[in-house]
Structure 1
């Protein structure tokens, strides 16, 4: 009997959670904002603890105006992403999200907001989409794939920046 192929969304979510990520699904912008509020409350973060580097994230996902672009002593970075990679549960980002900074320049807590159109089977598909949709290909393209924060560094985690990572996924087509 042939193996049933698991849907791309399910493959991503399984790998993402195995990597230590925390996943929240939202069917509407209201639910997205509720989920964001729950994350902030769970961690006792205030709006002053949040770093958002791009105002478009607030408008694209209808986030509250009370969230300000703040870079001083932030505890949490909120961003979007280029793609969600199903093969390894990683998140593809670029200079569109982190400019020319390294991930290590950002707080160890990261909230990524994305939608269901961002799923790709592998990094090759993600890179192809970036190339096809951009007149100018962004720089600093990388993946976030190690979400376990560990004081001990081993050979396999060398060069990675572990983050306490939340993903809030919005069902595309939501009003």
Structure 2
């Protein structure tokens, strides 16, 4: 996982560093964690790497500050994340005008840079029913090689009582040109806070 430290431990990259990252040739023998980062950023996602829960809290507060979301409203269905919202005076019980979704995810899909969710994170909501802005907290152990691995990862995780509404989000910025591959997809302004756990 040293790729995370090399690329992201010193904060935001400048344009020269981004150009250097984009020059890397991603072939099949490249580790799928590196491939995920490349594909996720190419899809327009905003990536924040953390080595501790303290860093996660700090990055979350930075996101709130950047977007002026302090003391606003959010959607969150996961009780383990409620303290993050409470500490920052974010209303999450019956929000009227939520600015963002705070959630975990099922998996991070390497080969396409997408994020999979289930009813455990988003209940029965469809992607277009969720706020445009999303803050997702995930662990490095959740990165899987491909979309075909999503169901087996979910079966291994839950063993019984599988969640429903399994869906993936892949596009994190509006396409500049008409792109038929994005047809029917709602682009999201997505921040991924990735916590090292391996």
Same fold (TM over 0.5): yes
In 2, Cα distance between the equivalents of 1:40 and 1:85? 26
1:55–1:69 contact (8 Å) kept in structure 2:
no
1:54–1:69 contact (8 Å) kept in structure 2:
no
In 2, Cα distance between the equivalents of 1:92 and 1:58? 21
Alpha-carbon spacing, 1:159–1:7, altered in 2? closer, same or farther (3 Å): same
Which has the larger share of helix? 2
Larger RCO: 1 or 2 (CA < 8 Å, sep 6+): 1
Consecutive unaligned residues in structure 1, runs of 5 or more: none
Alpha-carbon spacing, 1:106–1:153, altered in 2? closer, same or farther (3 Å): farther
Alpha-carbon spacing, 1:5–1:58, altered in 2? closer, same or farther (3 Å): farther
Q: TM-score, normalised by structure 2?
A: 0.78
In 2, Cα distance between the equivalents of 1:125 and 1:47? 39
Q: Does 1:128 align with 2:149?
A: no
How many residue pairs get matched? 168
Deviation for aligned residue 1:151: 8.7
2:85–2:92 contact (8 Å) kept in structure 1:
no
In 2, Cα distance between the equivalents of 1:163 and 1:129? 24
Q: TM-score, normalised by structure 1?
A: 0.87
Structure 1 residue ranges (4+ consecutive) displaced by more than 6 angstroms after TM superposition: none
- The equivalent residue for 1:65 is 86
Larger mean CA deviation between 95-104 and 67-76 belongs to: 67-76
2:171–2:187 contact (8 Å) kept in structure 1:
yes
- The equivalent residue for 1:139 is 164
Deviation for aligned residue 1:169: 0.3
In 2, Cα distance between the equivalents of 1:172 and 1:68? 29
Deviation for aligned residue 1:5: 1.9
- The equivalent residue for 2:181 is 156
Q: Does 1:34 align with 2:58?
A: yes
